[in-house]
Structure 1
Amino acid sequence: MIDFCAIDFETATHERNSACEMGICIVENGEIVSTKTWLIKPPSYPYFHPRNIDVHGITPKEVQDAPTFDQIWHEAESLMYGNLMIAHNAGFDAGVLRSCLDYYGFFKPKLNYLCSISLAKKSWKNLPRYGLKNLAEQHNIQFKHHRAGADAEVCAKISLLAFDNLMLTRNDEVTEVMKKNLKIL
């Protein structure tokens, strides 16, 4: 069966290391087993760019007592360990993860990651849009957009539907079919 983790970040500024929320949704044997969300105090604290607040609604006050990324990374990493990582617009989320790891001096785990946009495009040809909100609407999935845990969980649900549509039931099949789209963190 398919095992992966779907991740999502929200950021406080245009800086990739400014994660202010992280969500991870764990999928084991093709089933969502848990979703974990952390508010994070970013290095830019207390500064948040107003545009970022407009997108996700997270304010400096909400993260004033939150842990910093280095304080949550070991727990997050243990959830991701050995998994395929999937994110919607994965280049952004992988970039945020890389930048946070670099900022705090952590080694990058050897993780393969896949963008759920490329997966959706392979699964459902000719949709007008492949944004997370559009794909969720297409599949009647309700969620609070631009909150990390909710976005990660919807990414996992969309990915599972795409795998089912492509008749992929094991990680090695995903690797074979999506090999051109797989990247390493």
Structure 2
Amino acid sequence: MDFVSLDFETANYKRNSACSIALTVVRQNRIVDEFYSLINPQAPFKRRNIQIHGITPEDVANAPTFAELWPHISPLFAPNKLIVAHNATFDCSVLKNTLSSYDIVNPTFLVLDTLKTSRSYFKNFENHKLNTVCDQLKIQLHNHHNALDDSLACANILLYQLQKFGAADISKFIKSFK
């Protein structure tokens, strides 16, 4: 299966305040590339968000805006491309709201949420947070809330599920996102 795992961190509680992004590219069930960038959200940071991910305004002062970054990553979000995220509702909302804040047309693509697949496949887990699922499946997650580590962990969760349950069963979770 080919897909791109996505993770955002935000500067504050607003869904248009992306301050980092990571993408993990999977081709034929193998991780083949990774992308990470800080993003200047052009928005204020909340202390709670900084406590969660450790990114400060000083860290992003010279980082590109999302509008500057988008031309480089937008080909990954084409109509037949599969984007995977753990809690895809959050990450897709950040993408949509951030694009909207720059008057960039939101792309249509396929999306799969490993939070939902984990809830379906692993009903006995205490919860289905990214770190819990990784612990239970023995998937490494070195720095939770680092977008690259989270994106890589999400990709590995889906790869585990593909191996255990098969692509045909997992395909029922794929939805179109617009």
Where on the TM-score scale, by shorter chain, does this alignment land: which range? over 0.9
Q: Is the 8 A contact 2:113 2:173 kept in 1?
A: no
Q: Is the 8 A contact 2:77 2:108 kept in 1?
A: no
Q: 1:178 maps to what in 2?
A: 173
Map of 1:100-179 to 2, 5 A cutoff? 100-142=98-140, 143-168=142-167, 174-175=170-171, 177-178=172-173
Q: 1:34 maps to what in 2?
A: 33
Query: Helix, strand or coil: the match of 2:84?
Result: strand
Q: Is the 8 A contact 1:123 1:165 kept in 2?
A: no
How far is the alpha carbon of 1:183 from its aligned partner?
4.2
Q: 2:71 maps to what in 1?
A: 74
Q: Is the 8 A contact 1:41 1:68 kept in 2?
A: yes
* Structure-2 separation of matches of 1:118 and 1:56: 23
How far is the alpha carbon of 1:78 from its aligned partner?
2.1
Query: Helix, strand or coil: the match of 1:119?
Result: helix
Q: Deviations over 1:46-97 (max 9, x none)?
A: x210000000000011001000000001111123434211111111100000
Q: 2:90 maps to what in 1?
A: 92
Q: Deviations over 1:10-53 (max 9, x none)?
A: 00011111000000111111111111001000021xx2100000
Question: Which deviates more, 114-123 or 145-154?
Answer: 114-123
Counterpart of 1:64 in structure 2: which amino acid?
A
Query: Helix, strand or coil: the match of 1:7?
Result: strand
Query: Helix, strand or coil: the match of 1:106?
Result: coil
Normalized against structure 1, the TM-score is what? 0.90
Any runs of at least 4 consecutive aligned residues in structure 1 with deviations exceeding 4 A, and if so which?
A: none
How far is the alpha carbon of 1:174 from its aligned partner?
3.7
Q: 1:64 maps to what in 2?
A: 61
Normalized against structure 2, the TM-score is what? 0.93
Q: 1:5 maps to what in 2?
A: 4
Structure number with greater CO (CA < 8 Å, separation at least 6) is: 1
How far is the alpha carbon of 1:109 from its aligned partner?
1.2
Structure 1 alignment gaps of length 5 or more: none
Q: Is the 8 A contact 2:77 2:107 kept in 1?
A: no
* Structure-1 separation of matches of 2:68 and 2:145: 23
Q: Work out the number of aligned pairs and report it.
A: 176
* Structure-2 separation of matches of 1:33 and 1:119: 23
Q: Is the 8 A contact 2:3 2:84 kept in 1?
A: yes
How far is the alpha carbon of 1:184 from its aligned partner?
1.3
Counterpart of 1:97 in structure 2: which amino acid?
L
Question: Which deviates more, 111-120 or 6-15?
Answer: 111-120
Q: Is the 8 A contact 1:17 1:43 kept in 2?
A: no
Q: Is the 8 A contact 2:3 2:26 kept in 1?
A: yes
Q: Is the 8 A contact 2:117 2:170 kept in 1?
A: no
